[in-house]
Structure 1
Amino acid sequence: YMTYTVTVEKRTQGGSKACRAFRAQGKMPAVVYGPNNEAETILLNTKEFEKIWSEAGESTVLTLAGLDKKVSVLIQDVAHDPLYGTPTHADFYAIQADTVVDVEVPLEFTGVSPAEKGLGGTLIKVMFTLPIKALPKDLPSEVEVDISSLVTFEDQIQVRDIKLPQGVVADAESEEVVALVQAPREEENEDAGDVSSVEVEKKGKEEESAPNNK
């Protein structure tokens, strides 16, 4: 499975003033915690984390190096600057190699739907992420959803239809809808035509009833 190694350092100073100073130096405050780990405050390179965060997401195992021992973690939460959108703080959840973890992975929609391409329908993605359970070594960075099975407007892709990698279990109702194709809304076009004809008819009557000044 894919993993990233991030070099971190222990953070000895706390408080908002110290955190602002760290960020000015290109360092981001963070905290590591878990069932077998006491909460520990750390610092890491902001740009390095930003790159990993965009590539890895929450379902990729990170290895934190630079502490008393290497720690395997998942990204639990990330705070962002409201103005610039850059990460300002992260929570890391320490995991054990032999313990199942719960995460949400992004869904990657692949293939071509005949109902969308051939019948002019609109693909509706009901779910964009899927909650799963797996050992850290089995965690996928994303889960593919093949939409080629959406042949008619009655077809649906449900959670039970998704092919998951070995060792991965969906943590959602099996009948929950993931995607479908919506039929074209022809009624709107018909209504628009009716309105146009009414307006033309109304305009014609107004012209007939208007006084002739010639």
Structure 2
Amino acid sequence: MVNVLKAKERTSDRHSQIRELREQGGIPAIVYGYKTENTPISINNAEFTKTMREVGRNGVISLDVEGKKLNVVLHEYQEDPIKKEVIHADFLAVDMSQEIEANVRVELSEDAEGVRNGGVLQQILHEVVVTAKPDEIPEVISVDISGLGIGETISIAEIRGNYSITINHEDDEPIATILAPRVEEPAEEGAEPAGEAADSETEEA
């Protein structure tokens, strides 16, 4: 079942009206894409937050613009850096039978063997670009790193076969690696600590 999000058309982008809309719990937005002209709209902040929590970042939403329903995905959004609230949203209208590109978060699952042995996990790729039909885009790409040892790297090639979608990255692009633990070099024999050397010089003077 596709979640429905109600929207109203906007007739003005004046700063004063945008500010008033936000003060009343709304979010200025725009919808464009498949069989749709660029249309300024407004949505309710609470309803938007609830819908995104239910469908996920790449989920398909049925956007009801004053009775006209469109299948859309959240394409881009702007967030207030202090309040962490969405202040503008772009919706892309999609044809459910046609593939689109989307960014999908990479999530590392399981503790790596190398980390248990003292290594340091470094995640290199936090997002991947995929191509798939709108309702086949996953919320996350999960990568099992349980067998990754110190000095080893897992790359795109090793996860490509786990998904039926197209991952738009080179096979050798690294996702994560386990770095060797840092080893502190021992102090040279006969070397005096800096403080003691300074004290000796003072006494001789």
Sort the TM-score into its range (normalised by shorter chain). 0.7 to 0.9
Q: Is the 8 A contact 2:59 2:135 kept in 1?
A: no
**Secondary structure, counterpart of 1:50 in structure 2:** helix
- 1:88 and 2:90 aligned: no
Give the match for residue 172 of structure 1. Answer: 169
Q: Is there any run of 5+ residues in structure 1 with no aligned partner, and where?
A: none
| 1:195 CA displacement | 7.5
Map of 1:123 onto structure 2: 121
Which residue number in structure 2 is paired with residue 200 of structure 1?
A: 193
1:208 and 1:10, CA in 2 relative to 1: closer, same or farther beyond 3 A? closer
Paired with 2:119 and 2:12, the residues of 1 have a C-alpha distance of 57
> How far apart are 1:55 and its partner, in Å?
5.9
TM-score for the superposition, normalised by structure 1: 0.84
The alpha-carbon distance between structure 1 residues 78 and 203, as it changes in their structure 2 partners (threshold 3 A), is same
Structure 1 segments, 4+ long, off by >6 Å, are none
Higher share of residues assigned helix = 1
Change beyond 3 A, Cα 1:35–1:7: closer
AA matched with 1:20? R
Structure 2 SS opposite 1:167? coil
Pair 1:144-2:137 in alignment: no
User: 1:120-163 CA deviation, whole Å, 9 max, x = no partner?
Assistant: 0011000111110101121111110000130232x211011115
Provide, for residues 45-68 of structure 1, a one-character-per-residue CA deviation record: whole Å limited to 9, x for no partner: 112223444565542212112434
Q: Which residue of 2 aligns with 1:25?
A: 24
Per-residue deviation, 1:6: 1.2
Whether the aligned pair in 1 keeps the contact of 2:79 and 2:87 (CA below 8 Å) is yes
Partner SS for 2:63: strand
Question: 1:185: how far off?
Answer: 1.0
What amino acid sits opposite 2:191 in the alignment? Answer: V
What residue in structure 1 maps to residue 179 of structure 2?
A: 182
Paired residues for 1:46-65 under 5 Å: 46-53=45-52, 56=55, 58-65=57-64
Is 1:42 the equivalent of 2:35? Answer: no
Pairwise CA distance, 1:36: 2.2
Count of residues in correspondence between the two structures: 205
- After superposition, the C-alpha distances for 1:163-196 in whole angstroms (9 at most, x for unaligned) are 566531101111100001000010xx21xx4289
CA distance in 1, matches of 2:195, 2:65: 79
Determine helix, strand or coil for the equivalent of 1:70: strand
Deviations 1:65-112, CA, capped at 9 Å, x for gaps: 243421111111112224423111111111101110100111111112
The answer to whether the 8 Å contact 1:135/1:167 transfers is no
**1:58–1:104 CA contact under 8 A, matched in 2:** no
- Structure 1 residues 167 and 204 mapped into 2: Cα distance closer, same or farther (>3 Å)? closer
**Counterpart in the other structure of 1:70:** 69
Question: Compared with structure 1, are the counterparts of its residues 127 and 204 closer, same or farther at alpha carbon in structure 2 (3 Å cutoff)?
Answer: same
Matched residue of 2:146: which SS? helix
Amino acid across the alignment from 2:159: I
1:20-60, Cα deviation, whole Å (9 max, x unpaired): 11111111111000142111111111122234445655422
